[in-house]
A and B are shown apart, each in its own frame.
Chain A
Amino acid sequence: MTLRQLLRALLPALLLALATAATAAPNPDEILDDPALEARARALSAELRCVVCQNESIDDSGAPLARDMRRLVRERLVAGDSDAEVVDFLVARYGDFVRLRPPVRGSTLLLWASPLILVGLGGIGVWLYLRGRRDDQAAAPAPLSPEEQAALDRLLADRSRS
């Protein structure tokens, strides 16, 4: 399971953060007065990674760096940046690592296309298989041998008794 807190408990730097900061973000003093801007800030924060944490968004993390990053996001929004501009700003600082939603480009094409590729390949496999099944059906099954027929009768008798 995710043990984000465990991490805090284990990495000394984060441990310090726990002692001084809140467990979950953001803090009351960070919240913007404009609810629409604040909502955008929350949505953006959920897609940005706290770069010193393990797989935690800055919206979830109590680490000091996450707090700084949250402040940064809100400052940019107040300054009038669009969501994309805020993300670009943070990517310029921290690299693509900061994006929990990986960018779509050559090296991630395989990743993003994986659902289509897998369903497509699987679909072709299923189609080939089903075609084979129907061919089987064209050939009538061999008639039951007397021994098999007896076994079948016995099974059916069993079943009707239950």
Chain B
Amino acid sequence: MIPELAHLALVIAFGVALVQSTLPLAGAARNDAGLIGLASSAAWAQFVLLTFSFGALVHLYMVSDFSILNVYQNSHDSKPMLYKITGTWGNHEGSLLLWVWVLTLFGAALAAFGKSMPATFKARVLAVQGMVTVAFIAFTLFTSNPFERLDPAPLEGTGLNPLLQDPGLAFHPPMLYIGYVGFSITFAFAVAALIEGRVDPSWARWIRPWVLIAWSSLTLGIALGSYWAYYELGWGGWWFWDPVENASFLPWLAGTALLHSIIVVEKRDSLKSWTILLAIFTFGFSLLGTFLVRSGVLTSVHAFAVDPDRGMFILLILAVALVGPLLLFAWRAPQMRASGAFQPISREGALIMNNLLLAAATGVVLLGTLYPLFLELVTGEKISVGPPFFNATFIPLMVPLLLILPIGTLLAWKRGDLRRSLRLMSLAAVAAIALALVAAFTDPRSTIVTALGFALAGWLFGGAVMDLLQRAGIGRSSWARLPARLVSLPGSAYAAAVAHTGVAVTVIGITASSAWQTEVITSMGYGDSQRVAGYNVTLAHVGPVQGPNWIANEGTFEVERDGRHIATLTSDRRHYPVEGTSTTEVGITSNLWRDVYVVIGEQTGDGLYVVRLYHNPLVVWIWLGTLLMAVAAVVSMADRRFRVGAPEPKRAKAAAAPAAPAPQAGS
């Protein structure tokens, strides 16, 4: 009964979404308060319906109802409860339902928190959001119904891929989805603005918290996936430029550009058309990512979702989501006159450079990901585009971006004083040189690239500090007042400094862990010791271990340094009998300065085990930096200016003066 009700709820939600995507638009055009108000009610109704529907599916997984095809195919009674629950979205149908639920969650959040917006605009945003929901519920209902029954019901399920039975990967998809789907709201804002024909600083204020939350979640989602790869794949790698990784990286890059261009719209009423385009394309990349993963078109490792019909459906959604808004854009763009004039050397100018480089990087990653596909279609040639290509093209675009970044934050709006900014940056240059020297002398394996990586990090960190000091009025007011002024800086000032520090921290992590990694591949027996970068690792014991739904051969290692015991690590080779597959669990002891990482391999004939030992210096800094960026976005969201809501429309108009707001146009 429950599955049927949940299915029915989904069908009703489809009808409600149809209403939400049409009537409020008509209401906004005719200024009909009843129809306008319908948008919020519909958004709430959908959220309630989808919460029921998705909750029901989670319930069916928890109780292992194998009369449901989807549960039968992806679950097993012996799984721990956590993985029964997370198994709900460990498959195509369930993850799609999660996607739709997050869509309605954002719709309801907008209905609840969008009070500062004019009612007509809010109705239009919700209507566009409703259209996205229509498309995705249709996709679910027509190609991927998670509630399909199986008769007769089997006694036992076929289990969940063991690699997904991991805390890191269990929560990686929901975070990614909040990011992907969060960009549907910013897409809706962009399209609604095109329908109204008006983009102004208050629009930027309304949209900004949504960009921040989507970007923050996507950042965390990608970081989580990358950390998972690091500890699960067993050789310490953390980013592989795999097409599926790139699929999540594309909206992140475009979203990062969007995050920065919105600031220009908000503060200077410029870059409007470009920002609208970015908002449309960021969501386009989210859809493209879904398409690439779900269609299996790239025959990537995620191809377990291969199904051409589904791929075509998403491609259709993608085409409509891009072509419609772009036509609207072509019609409206000429009306979006910018009002703020500025010199090339200015904060605006620096942010334009930021966008230019990020857009180029997005383009390069997109082309690199799709090029083998196109080339094979056009000429039949089969080529591979792998990490060597991306490293050779992506990094040269990031270096100038990061070099310009701190200088840009120190430039004034409208007309910057480059000399003054560079003078302030001389302190950051000292930090850069100091870090480069530290890097050069810490380890004999350091190369010029290592030193440059550290210098870049010092430059960024110094810049972030100078940014705060300058905002606090260093050199313009007395030193005694500096601490008080620092404390009273708005949250967004700290957010920017923390986010940019996060970039510096990640740069250090990447540089150090790739330059200074020590790898030892060897065979060990009981009691054998092996040195890796000053640590003494002893294989103490190997024996069978029984888990809830797996059996393993587990190696126990003692890690010592200078006779002092550091940690006892275990590394398993696990076998999951239900699924008939095996995984490797690595043993890691982590601190801020280094990871010691051990992996046990197969037994060689003579009672020895293949063992891989790694010493990865500063590797956690990679994820620490991304965490700082994600937290900074949340801090920025909590900034008073957004919390109190954007100004009333009338005042916004005045604030945007002397821009002549484009005439309100009904659709």
Contact = CB atoms under 8 A, between A and B. Distances in A.
Interface of A: 1-7, 9-10, 15, 18-24, 26-29, 31, 46-47, 49, 54-55, 57, 60, 95-103, 107-108, 110-112, 114-115, 118-119, 122-123, 126, 129-130, 133-134, 136-137, 141-142, 144-145, 147-148, 151-152, 154-155, 162
A100 B386 contact: yes
Contact of B367 (A2, A24, A55, A111): A111
A136 B341 contact: yes
Residue of A7, A103, A145 with most chain B CB atoms under a 10 A cut-off: A7
Nearest to A19: B582
Given A100-B388, A141-B658, A24 B360 contact: no
B162 A27 contact: no
Nearest to A152: B654
17 contacts: A1-B172, A2-B240, A4-B240, A9-B579, A10-B161, A23-B601, A24-B612, A29-B604, A47-B386, A60-B237, A98-B384, A107-B375, A112-B389, A114-B367, A118-B363, A123-B356, A144-B658
A47 B388 contact: yes
Contact of A99 (B384, B393, B581): B384
A24 B651 contact: no
A119 B356 contact: yes
Interface of B: 161-163, 169, 172, 225-226, 228-229, 232-235, 237, 240, 242-245, 248, 270, 299-304, 338-339, 341-344, 349, 352-353, 356-357, 359-360, 363-364, 367-368, 371, 375, 379, 381-389, 392-393, 396-397, 521-523, 579-584, 599, 601-602, 604, 610, 612, 640, 651, 654-655, 657-658
B654 A126 contact: no
B521 A26 contact: yes
Give the dominant DSSP class at A's interface: helix
Contacts of A54: 242, 299-301, 303
B655 A155 contact: yes
Contacts of B162: 9
A156 to B, nearest CB: 11
Contact of A96 (B229, B359, B383, B599): B383
B272 to A, nearest CB: 12
A24 B234 contact: yes
Contacts of A57: 386-387
Nearest to B273: A129
Nearest to B362: A118
Contact of A114 (B232, B356, B363): B363
Contacts of A55: 240, 242-243, 300-301, 384, 386
